[in-house]
A and B are shown apart, each in its own frame.
Chain A
Amino acid sequence: MTTPLLETRGVWQRFGGLIANSDVSISVGAGEIVGLIGPNGAGKSTLFNLIAGVLPPTQGSIWFNGEDVTRMPAAERCQRGIARTFQVVKSFETMTVIDNVIVGALVRTTVMRDARRKAQEVLEFCGLGARANVLASQLIPSEKRRLEVARALATEPKLLLLDECLTGLTPLEAQSGVALVRKVRETGVTVLMVEHVMEIVMPLVDRAIVLNLGKVLVEGKPTDVVRHPEVISAYLGDRHAISA
């Protein structure tokens, strides 16, 4: 078996007395779309932040592309090829849409002309080409989500981390969001997406990892995972019935 692109080995995260992640070991292979799902408080966001480099884990290690990145700051991980979006969008509000994306592009080049060209390409790719010169603060919410993705893609990541990027969109918007994620994968980028609502992600992902109470509950093909009794009870306990 080839080494996976991303691997967490026995990761623990404690906040005071609270254990957010206990002994989580997951792996993501190159080219996959993996969904990280689970009910509220399952520890998804914590794990996501550990991988993105917001904080180091209490225990355990995180490996990316054969390198130990456990204590590497977020900015350096981005240079290595990990990019992320934020659940609560964090656009650079006083900058134009294209300038937002240029910030990302500058990780790979310092030539402004190249960065600008790259940013324009990514914007076209994400369907925001026509909005390039608008201030980010003027975008509607679904466009801001796209901008998050565009900014991350401009860093030319190997692994794209999506934090609930489809939650809260209208069905139509979510559909085009799904299409965008597929398109991203076709360009060879590996995707790890955290989602709370299963229906959205299940048709999209190759593999699903279900977290519950800070632990990996099940992982496998989405069709198998949704039928798993423990998953159903975990979700039912959270009063989120699955329609699948």
Chain B
Amino acid sequence: MTAATIIQSLASGLLMGLLYGLIAVGLALIFGLMDVTNFAHGEFLMLAMYGAFFLFAFFAVDPLLAAPLVAAGMFVFGAVIYLLIVRFAMRAKANIGMVQIFTTFGLAILMRGLAQFFFTPDYRSIPTSWLGGKTVSFGGIFLPVPQLVGALISVAAFGALFFFIKKTDFGRALEATREDAGAVALVGIDKNKVFALGWGLGSALVGLAGAVMASFFYIYPDVGASFALIAYVTVALGGFGSVFGAFAGGIIVGLVEASTALILPPSLKSVGIYAVYLLVVFIRPRGLFGSI
């Protein structure tokens, strides 16, 4: 194992990690806002990937161009899911934690079934895109362009999100609601509206990730499941509800995955991520940056 191989894998790991962060941040946002973990998050990603695929297949829209469209579509989808389903799951007085876990689990299974029904279980891919298949080289390290652009989009999205939360009215309403939903109601902010928009925003972010990933990943009904667990680990590693935690968690997960793949057989590469998660929460039961 040469130094170049190690740097090469860490660089790829970093790119993938930034994407993991983007996949996970919507989950963190929603959890921070209302203590709900969306166990259908992976299926949201799957839907976004199909969105990018169909835009390409029917209208020849490049995934890069499709990304804002998919994000906008997912924004609406997320808000509607909140209004139609999640809102009611939060009304339960008895074992509310259970109810929301299994409601979103049911949703995940339902979405997977619908995807199989309407999109068939076939593996799809976007064969030609502006970025697809290209690589660039920095001093002997080769980086695939789609992942590189994806990572840049992720960084930009995180930057925009920080700005948004700190500087805009809605962002501040979001912050205030996550701190104290009861008090917010008193000053006349409609909690349901904020929650719906929060779900929209969280889903739009995973939509962005999905569109980017569609250009270099196979698309099939179960694709979400493989990323969902990574997203949960990312979010929990950073600390539930922390946006910065999702960013940092994503990078850690990406790097750990890449380094594990250097040492262990490829089929065991996830073991590293899982082990790091356990190690972190055993030492810090609230994750790295979690306060709640």
Would A and B touch once assembled, by the CB under 8 A criterion? yes
User: Which residues of A are at the interface with B, using a C-beta cutoff of 8 A?
Assistant: 94, 137
- CB B164 to nearest CB in A, in angstroms, measures 33
* Complex CA–CA separation, A137 to B94 (angstroms): 10
* Complex CA–CA separation, A138 to B84 (angstroms): 29
Chain B neighbourhood of A137, CB < 8 A? 93
- B291 near A: Cβ within 8 Å? no
3 tightest A-B CB contacts, nearest first:
A94-B94, A137-B93, A94-B95
User: What are 3 residue pairs bridging A and B, where the CB atoms are less than 8 Å apart in the complex?
Assistant: A94-B94, A94-B95, A137-B93
* Complex CA–CA separation, A94 to B94 (angstroms): 8
- CB A139 to nearest CB in B, in angstroms, measures 14
Chain A neighbourhood of B95, CB < 8 A? 94
Those of B173-206 within 8 Å (CB) of chain A:
none
Chain B neighbourhood of A94, CB < 8 A? 94-95
- CB B91 to nearest CB in A, in angstroms, measures 15
The chain B residue sitting closest to A94, CB to CB, is B94
Chain A neighbourhood of B94, CB < 8 A? 94
User: Which residues of B are at the interface with A, using a C-beta cutoff of 8 A?
Assistant: 93-95
- CB B156 to nearest CB in A, in angstroms, measures 38
- CB B20 to nearest CB in A, in angstroms, measures 35
* Complex CA–CA separation, A137 to B95 (angstroms): 12
- CB B94 to nearest CB in A, in angstroms, measures 7
The chain A residue sitting closest to B94, CB to CB, is A94
- CB A206 to nearest CB in B, in angstroms, measures 40
* Complex CA–CA separation, A94 to B93 (angstroms): 10
- CB A24 to nearest CB in B, in angstroms, measures 30
- CB B210 to nearest CB in A, in angstroms, measures 39
Chain A neighbourhood of B93, CB < 8 A? 137
The chain B residue sitting closest to A135, CB to CB, is B94
* Complex CA–CA separation, A90 to B136 (angstroms): 60
* Complex CA–CA separation, A94 to B95 (angstroms): 9
* Complex CA–CA separation, A137 to B93 (angstroms): 10
* Complex CA–CA separation, A177 to B93 (angstroms): 29
- CB B72 to nearest CB in A, in angstroms, measures 42
* Complex CA–CA separation, A95 to B58 (angstroms): 57
- CB B52 to nearest CB in A, in angstroms, measures 45
* Complex CA–CA separation, A127 to B44 (angstroms): 54
The chain A residue sitting closest to B95, CB to CB, is A94
* Complex CA–CA separation, A94 to B97 (angstroms): 14
- CB B190 to nearest CB in A, in angstroms, measures 27
- CB A137 to nearest CB in B, in angstroms, measures 7
- CB B182 to nearest CB in A, in angstroms, measures 15
- CB B222 to nearest CB in A, in angstroms, measures 36
- CB A136 to nearest CB in B, in angstroms, measures 12
- CB B40 to nearest CB in A, in angstroms, measures 27
* Complex CA–CA separation, A19 to B191 (angstroms): 38
- CB B95 to nearest CB in A, in angstroms, measures 7
The chain A residue sitting closest to B93, CB to CB, is A137
* Complex CA–CA separation, A128 to B94 (angstroms): 23
* Complex CA–CA separation, A27 to B94 (angstroms): 43
